[in-house]
Amino acid sequence: FAVLMSTIIYPAPIFGPVHSRRLGISLGINLMPADGKVCTFDCIYCECGFNQSHIPSQRRPTRDEVRLKLEVKLQEMAAQKQLPDVLTFAGNGEPTAHPAFKEIIVDTRMLRDKYCPNAKISVLSNSTFIHHPNVFEALMLVDNNILKLDTIDANYIQRVDRPTGLHYKVEEIIENMKRFQGHIIIQTMFLKGQDMHGNDVSNLSDHYVLPWLAAVKAIQPQSVMVYTIDRETPDQTLFKATPQELDAIKAQVIAAGIPCSASY
């Protein structure tokens, strides 16, 4: 992986396999350009850096390119008898923004069934396109529909997740999450520290956790993943949540009857 200013830009369309903290041996699928970042969020904690620092000059891979390169990689892994546990759509930005996202998911299911039928298909998404029918239908076809919900506080979202020039209303995101009727894993980043303007960005207090927990209960996901910073962040004034802090939040989710994992 290219490391620029302590950030990671992933090759496209296939990268890895990597060992994921949460998912096992993960073969990555990056639907964004290989030389930059395209995302509807510009999170201050993103391991790929700030959008502005990594404007791509290349185009996104096409549906055919993704299918062909994924097949070659799966054949190679099968020959080495090292099949992936999971095929993970992630990389340099928001995967569901690809215009052929649904068709690529259909192709990926076909290749998974052929080469590694025990592998799960996971999508890591910031939830900004789940109101599109094609994206919704595609996410219903994957095993792990992992959708981001860092908080339900609108001001915090603007400071930390920083939606880029799009109409973003967290209430609408929550309503659209409910439409999955449980076929959803909520992923939430907990951190502390300050942003570059000196604003406090900790979301560990009851002020943030309790309304978030109420939203989680309303959505009724199959599970929740709480996690904290793992790699260097573009904003240097952020700090990890402690295992004790994450475990306390995890315990509240489990007490609400929803499975929850914590990654430190």
| 2, pLDDT greater than 50 | no
Average pLDDT of the residues in 105-126: 98
| 6, pLDDT greater than 70 | no
Q: What is the pLDDT of residue 22?
A: 67
Token pair for residue 89? 């759509």
Residue corresponding to tokens 């490391």: 3
DSSP for 147-213?
EE---S-HHHIIIII-B-SS---HHHHHHHHHTTTT--EEEEE-EEEB-TTS-B----SHHHHHHHH
Q: Which of 103, 124, 127 is nearest to 175 (CA)?
A: 127
Mean pLDDT of the chain: 93
The 10 Å Cβ neighbour count of residue 4 is: 13
Confidence of residue 18 (pLDDT cuts 50, 70, 90): confident
Please give the torsion angle defined by the CA atoms of residues 253, 255, 257 and 259, in that order, rounded to the nearest 10 degrees.
50
Average pLDDT of the residues in 207-212: 98
Q: What is the pLDDT of residue 214?
A: 98
Q: Which residues of 172-203 are buried (b: 16+ CB within 10 A; e: fewer)?
A: ebbebbeebeeebbbbbbbbbbebeeeeebbb
Residue 204 phi/psi, 5-degree rounding, is -100, -10
Residue 165 phi/psi, 5-degree rounding, is 55, 25
- Lowest model confidence (mean pLDDT) among 23-32, 67-76, 113-122: 23-32
pLDDT tens per residue across span 148-175 = 999 999 999 999 999 997 689 999 999 9
| 231, pLDDT greater than 90 | no
- What span, in angstroms and rounded, lies between the C-alpha atoms of 66 and 231? 27
pTM for the model: 0.94
| 226, pLDDT greater than 70 | yes
Peptide bond into 17 cis (omega under 30): yes
Residues in the chain: 264
